[in-house]
Amino acid sequence: MAPLQEAMHDLLDRQLPIAVPIEIIYGLAANALDAEPVAGIFSAKGRPADNSQIRTPLAAIGGKIRLILDGGACDVGVESTVVDGLPSPGVIKVLRPGGLTVEELQRVLGPGTKVLVHKRDYEDPEIEHVPTTPGMKYRHYSPTTPVVLLLRTPPPEGKKAETIHDILDELSPQQEDFRVGVLAFSNSPITLACITTHYHTHRYSLGNRNEPSEAAHRLFDGLLTLDAEGVDVILVEGVEEDREGLAVMNRLRKAAGEVRYIWG
């Protein structure tokens, strides 16, 4: 039986959910007219009933989903943009940045409308206390390996800038076989600094620093790949918070266990 026919058989005859690629990420599909296969989506992902988005990687729901239509890597790589559906006059509020960038929204809406990003441009204690969208409620995919986000921006009061060597010496339990995963841009000094240490380094490129869409495209695959390689810690280089980089940093801040500031 051809793959698409097999998928249709699972959806309509067996009443099973399947995994399919969309433009941003892989998602789970089921017959929406039957409660049982729909419930199977949430069961497969281990998600509560108000959160059907697949932040759990596919390579982790293996065995729970019988069929995955493999379409290769998705074009965008991060989840969709969530916009407040009840904006104030002349204002659009982005609750979660995603593949549709703030700059693209602003260009379409024109200069007469302000596009505000939650946590960057405004705070809303009420919506933070009772989030209205799963994109704000739940933590995004985090690997089992500890993730440390590295920023080059000036540290806030009470924090200090450090060297890569100092950070790794603190994180490692002085074991000779300590392995470091590095998720950074091509030719990044972070990668070079890790290579010059005595630790075993596993590298995954985020692409070109000037193309944040590449970082968005590679982010989750990089985390998954390094996690699967059994590293002891994953160091991730922060990106500029514009265009797709805003969505990347939104995901990284939710995935990282801590943030450290580095020199240079």
pLDDT at 134: 60
pLDDT at 252: 94
Total domain count for the chain?
Answer: 3
Confirm whether residue 141 is marked as ligand binding. yes
Q: Which domain holds residue 9?
A: 1-73
pLDDT at 55: 46
Query: What is d(CA 254, CA 142) in angstroms, rounded to the nearest whole number?
Result: 8
pLDDT at 197: 84
Q: Over the range 199-224, which residues count as b (16 or more CB within 10 Å of their CB) and which as e?
A: bebbbbbbbebeebbbbbbbbbbbbb
pLDDT at 49: 55
pLDDT at 232: 95
Residues of the chain with pLDDT under 50: 52-56
Residue 142 lies inside a defined structural domain of this protein: no
Residue 59 lies inside a defined structural domain of this protein: yes
Confirm whether residue 261 is marked as ligand binding. no
Residues 67 and 49 in one domain: yes
pLDDT at 264: 64
Q: What is the pLDDT of residues 163-178, one digit of tens each?
A: 999 999 898 877 778 9
Residue 193 lies inside a defined structural domain of this protein: yes
Residues 158 and 221 in one domain: yes
> The whole model's pTM is what?
0.82
Residues 190 and 90 in one domain: no
Confirm whether residue 186 is marked as ligand binding. no
